[in-house]
Amino acid sequence: MDEKERRKRLASLPFAEKLKILEKLRDRSRVIATAGLRKARVRHEREPLDDVTSKS
Amino acid sequence: MKATLEMINRMQADGVIGKYAIGGAVAATFYLEPSATEDVDIFVMLPPTPGSSLLSLSPIYEYLTARGCRVAGERIVVADWPMQLLAPHGALEQEALDDAVETEVEGVRTWVLRAEHLVAIALQTGRAKDYARIVQFLEQDAVDADKLKRVLMRHGLVPKWERFEHKYLEE
Protein backbone atom coordinates (compact mmCIF):
# COMPACT_ATOMS: atom_id res chain seq x y z
CA MET A 1 0.00 0.00 0.00
CA ASP A 2 1.51 3.36 -0.94
CA GLU A 3 1.68 6.34 1.44
CA LYS A 4 -1.28 8.14 -0.14
CA GLU A 5 -3.48 5.05 0.14
CA ARG A 6 -2.42 4.48 3.74
CA ARG A 7 -3.30 8.06 4.71
CA LYS A 8 -6.63 7.82 2.91
CA ARG A 9 -7.47 4.58 4.71
CA LEU A 10 -6.57 6.10 8.10
CA ALA A 11 -8.62 9.23 7.34
CA SER A 12 -11.66 7.10 6.56
CA LEU A 13 -11.68 5.37 9.97
CA PRO A 14 -14.46 6.31 12.42
CA PHE A 15 -13.58 9.31 14.64
CA ALA A 16 -13.58 7.17 17.82
CA GLU A 17 -11.01 4.80 16.31
CA LYS A 18 -8.84 7.70 15.18
CA LEU A 19 -8.98 9.13 18.71
CA LYS A 20 -7.70 5.81 20.08
CA ILE A 21 -4.75 6.07 17.67
CA LEU A 22 -4.16 9.65 18.88
CA GLU A 23 -4.08 8.37 22.46
CA LYS A 24 -1.49 5.72 21.54
CA LEU A 25 0.64 8.34 19.77
CA ARG A 26 0.36 10.65 22.78
CA ASP A 27 1.31 7.87 25.23
CA ARG A 28 4.26 6.86 23.07
CA SER A 29 5.62 10.41 22.93
CA ARG A 30 5.21 10.67 26.72
CA VAL A 31 7.26 7.48 27.17
CA ILE A 32 9.95 8.82 24.82
CA ALA A 33 10.03 12.16 26.67
CA THR A 34 10.30 10.42 30.07
CA ALA A 35 13.03 8.05 28.80
CA GLY A 36 14.99 11.06 27.53
CA LEU A 37 14.76 12.76 30.91
CA ARG A 38 15.74 9.53 32.70
CA LYS A 39 18.80 9.12 30.46
CA ALA A 40 19.86 12.71 31.07
CA ARG A 41 19.45 12.25 34.83
CA VAL A 42 21.48 8.99 34.86
CA ARG A 43 24.23 10.65 32.83
CA HIS A 44 24.25 13.60 35.25
CA GLU A 45 24.41 11.25 38.27
CA ARG A 46 27.30 9.26 36.76
CA GLU A 47 29.25 12.40 35.98
CA PRO A 48 28.92 14.68 38.97
CA LEU A 49 30.33 18.15 38.67
CA ASP A 50 33.62 17.26 40.46
CA ASP A 51 34.37 14.40 38.07
CA VAL A 52 33.66 16.54 35.06
CA THR A 53 35.91 19.34 36.23
CA SER A 54 38.71 16.92 37.20
CA LYS A 55 38.83 15.65 33.59
CA SER A 56 39.70 19.02 32.18
CA MET B 1 -11.22 10.83 25.20
CA LYS B 2 -14.67 9.48 26.02
CA ALA B 3 -14.22 10.32 29.71
CA THR B 4 -12.88 13.79 28.82
CA LEU B 5 -15.93 14.53 26.68
CA GLU B 6 -18.29 13.19 29.34
CA MET B 7 -16.76 15.61 31.85
CA ILE B 8 -17.12 18.55 29.43
CA ASN B 9 -20.74 17.61 28.73
CA ARG B 10 -21.46 17.41 32.46
CA MET B 11 -19.93 20.85 32.89
CA GLN B 12 -22.17 22.13 30.09
CA ALA B 13 -25.27 20.52 31.61
CA ASP B 14 -24.41 22.18 34.94
CA GLY B 15 -24.33 25.58 33.23
CA VAL B 16 -20.61 26.25 33.77
CA ILE B 17 -20.04 26.56 30.02
CA GLY B 18 -22.29 27.20 27.05
CA LYS B 19 -21.76 25.75 23.60
CA TYR B 20 -18.38 24.14 23.01
CA ALA B 21 -16.52 22.50 20.14
CA ILE B 22 -13.26 20.65 19.66
CA GLY B 23 -10.65 22.52 17.60
CA GLY B 24 -6.97 22.12 16.73
CA ALA B 25 -5.25 18.83 15.93
CA VAL B 26 -7.94 16.66 17.51
CA ALA B 27 -10.62 18.32 15.37
CA ALA B 28 -8.40 17.94 12.30
CA THR B 29 -8.32 14.21 13.07
CA PHE B 30 -12.09 14.13 12.50
CA TYR B 31 -11.37 14.85 8.81
CA LEU B 32 -7.79 13.61 8.29
CA GLU B 33 -5.52 10.78 9.37
CA PRO B 34 -4.51 11.00 13.04
CA SER B 35 -1.40 13.06 13.75
CA ALA B 36 0.31 13.25 17.13
CA THR B 37 -0.83 15.87 19.58
CA GLU B 38 -0.26 16.37 23.28
CA ASP B 39 -3.46 18.18 24.09
CA VAL B 40 -7.00 18.97 23.05
CA ASP B 41 -8.21 22.49 22.23
CA ILE B 42 -11.76 23.25 23.28
CA PHE B 43 -13.48 26.41 22.04
CA VAL B 44 -16.03 27.34 24.63
CA MET B 45 -18.72 29.93 25.19
CA LEU B 46 -18.53 31.30 28.69
CA PRO B 47 -21.64 32.47 30.48
CA PRO B 48 -21.20 36.11 31.58
CA THR B 49 -20.06 36.57 35.16
CA PRO B 50 -22.79 38.32 37.19
CA GLY B 51 -21.85 41.95 37.89
CA SER B 52 -18.94 41.94 35.44
CA SER B 53 -18.52 42.49 31.72
CA LEU B 54 -15.40 40.34 31.72
CA LEU B 55 -15.40 36.66 30.83
CA SER B 56 -13.44 34.39 33.10
CA LEU B 57 -12.21 30.80 32.87
CA SER B 58 -12.01 30.58 36.68
CA PRO B 59 -15.42 28.91 37.17
CA ILE B 60 -14.35 26.14 34.76
CA TYR B 61 -11.06 25.58 36.58
CA GLU B 62 -12.87 25.57 39.94
CA TYR B 63 -15.46 23.09 38.65
CA LEU B 64 -12.89 20.73 37.18
CA THR B 65 -10.35 20.83 40.01
CA ALA B 66 -13.19 20.08 42.46
CA ARG B 67 -13.74 16.91 40.42
CA GLY B 68 -10.16 15.69 40.56
CA CYS B 69 -8.73 17.35 37.44
CA ARG B 70 -5.30 18.90 37.75
CA VAL B 71 -3.98 22.17 36.38
CA ALA B 72 -0.79 21.86 34.29
CA GLY B 73 0.43 25.29 33.19
CA GLU B 74 -2.13 26.77 30.80
CA ARG B 75 -3.94 23.46 30.55
CA ILE B 76 -6.17 21.42 32.75
CA VAL B 77 -5.83 17.64 32.62
CA VAL B 78 -9.20 15.94 32.25
CA ALA B 79 -9.14 12.12 32.17
CA ASP B 80 -5.51 12.03 30.99
CA TRP B 81 -5.99 14.65 28.24
CA PRO B 82 -4.43 18.08 28.84
CA MET B 83 -7.15 20.43 27.69
CA GLN B 84 -6.73 24.03 26.57
CA LEU B 85 -9.88 26.08 26.90
CA LEU B 86 -10.25 28.90 24.42
CA ALA B 87 -12.93 31.54 24.43
CA PRO B 88 -13.62 32.46 20.79
CA HIS B 89 -11.44 35.38 19.82
CA GLY B 90 -12.87 37.38 16.94
CA ALA B 91 -15.65 36.84 14.42
CA LEU B 92 -14.09 33.85 12.66
CA GLU B 93 -13.73 31.74 15.80
CA GLN B 94 -17.20 32.78 16.96
CA GLU B 95 -18.71 31.71 13.62
CA ALA B 96 -16.70 28.45 13.76
CA LEU B 97 -18.12 27.64 17.18
CA ASP B 98 -21.69 28.54 16.16
CA ASP B 99 -21.43 26.34 13.06
CA ALA B 100 -19.67 23.31 14.63
CA VAL B 101 -20.65 19.80 13.54
CA GLU B 102 -22.36 17.51 16.00
CA THR B 103 -20.94 13.99 16.27
CA GLU B 104 -20.57 11.10 18.71
CA VAL B 105 -17.58 9.40 20.29
CA GLU B 106 -18.44 6.00 21.76
CA GLY B 107 -22.00 7.14 22.38
CA VAL B 108 -21.02 10.53 23.83
CA ARG B 109 -22.36 13.57 21.99
CA THR B 110 -19.84 16.24 21.07
CA TRP B 111 -19.11 19.01 18.55
CA VAL B 112 -16.20 19.54 16.19
CA LEU B 113 -15.28 22.65 14.17
CA ARG B 114 -15.94 22.37 10.43
CA ALA B 115 -13.00 21.64 8.13
CA GLU B 116 -13.33 25.02 6.37
CA HIS B 117 -13.21 26.87 9.69
CA LEU B 118 -10.21 24.83 10.86
CA VAL B 119 -8.39 25.80 7.66
CA ALA B 120 -9.36 29.48 7.98
CA ILE B 121 -8.30 29.58 11.65
CA ALA B 122 -5.02 27.87 10.76
CA LEU B 123 -4.44 30.46 8.04
CA GLN B 124 -5.22 33.30 10.45
CA THR B 125 -2.92 31.85 13.14
CA GLY B 126 -0.18 31.38 10.56
CA ARG B 127 2.48 29.25 12.27
CA ALA B 128 4.45 26.69 10.26
CA LYS B 129 2.46 23.81 11.77
CA ASP B 130 -0.79 25.56 10.85
CA TYR B 131 0.29 25.88 7.22
CA ALA B 132 1.33 22.21 7.21
CA ARG B 133 -2.15 21.29 8.42
CA ILE B 134 -3.79 23.35 5.67
CA VAL B 135 -1.72 21.46 3.10
CA GLN B 136 -2.91 18.18 4.65
CA PHE B 137 -6.56 19.27 4.32
CA LEU B 138 -6.05 20.22 0.69
CA GLU B 139 -4.06 17.09 -0.21
CA GLN B 140 -6.79 14.89 1.19
CA ASP B 141 -9.67 16.85 -0.41
CA ALA B 142 -11.11 17.34 3.06
CA VAL B 143 -12.46 20.85 2.45
CA ASP B 144 -15.29 22.17 0.32
CA ALA B 145 -13.51 24.79 -1.83
CA ASP B 146 -16.62 26.98 -2.27
CA LYS B 147 -17.45 26.97 1.44
CA LEU B 148 -13.82 27.77 2.28
CA LYS B 149 -13.80 30.66 -0.20
CA ARG B 150 -16.94 32.12 1.39
CA VAL B 151 -15.43 31.84 4.90
CA LEU B 152 -12.21 33.50 3.73
CA MET B 153 -14.16 36.32 2.07
CA ARG B 154 -16.38 36.93 5.11
CA HIS B 155 -13.34 37.30 7.35
CA GLY B 156 -11.03 39.28 5.09
CA LEU B 157 -8.59 36.41 4.65
CA VAL B 158 -8.48 36.25 0.84
CA PRO B 159 -5.23 38.25 0.47
CA LYS B 160 -3.53 36.04 3.07
CA TRP B 161 -4.85 32.93 1.30
CA GLU B 162 -3.46 34.15 -2.00
CA ARG B 163 -0.04 34.66 -0.41
CA PHE B 164 -0.27 31.18 1.13
CA GLU B 165 -1.23 29.65 -2.23
CA HIS B 166 1.61 31.44 -3.98
CA LYS B 167 4.16 30.35 -1.40
CA TYR B 168 3.09 26.77 -0.65
CA LEU B 169 0.84 25.48 -3.41
CA GLU B 170 2.26 26.87 -6.64
CA GLU B 171 5.21 24.87 -7.88
Q: Do A22 and B34 touch (CB under 8 A)?
A: yes
Polymer length in residues for chain B? 171
Q: Number of A:B CB contacts under 8 A?
A: 49
Q: Do B33 and A7 touch (CB under 8 A)?
A: yes
Q: What residues have CB less than 8 Å from A31, skipping those under 6 apart? A: none
How much is the pTM? 0.86
B103 by Cβ neighbours in 10 Å (0-12 / 13-18 / 19+) ranks as middle
Cβ atoms of B144 and B116 within 8 Å: the answer is yes
Minimal C-alpha gap between B31 and chain A (Å): 6
Q: Is the confidence at residue A53, as pLDDT, over 50?
A: no
A21 contacts in chain B (CB < 8 Å):
34
**Around Cβ B153, how many Cβ atoms within 10 Å?**
11
Query: Can you tell me the mean pLDDT for A1-11?
Result: 85
Residue of B nearest to A5 (CA): B140
Give the closest of A11, A19, A25 to B32, CB-based: A11
Mean pLDDT by 10 residues, chain B (171 residues): 94 94 96 92 85 77 93 90 93 97 96 98 95 94 96 97 90 63
Q: Is the confidence at residue A51, as pLDDT, over 50?
A: no
Q: Is the confidence at residue A17, as pLDDT, over 50?
A: yes
Residues 84-123 of B with CB under 8 A from A: 103-106, 112
Query: How many whole angstroms separate alpha carbon A2 and alpha carbon B44?
Result: 39
Q: Do A22 and B37 touch (CB under 8 A)?
A: yes
Mean pLDDT of all residues belonging to chain A: 77
Query: Can you tell me the mean pLDDT for A29-52?
Result: 68
Q: ipTM of this model?
A: 0.85
| pLDDT value of residue A54 | 40
Q: Do A26 and B142 touch (CB under 8 A)?
A: no
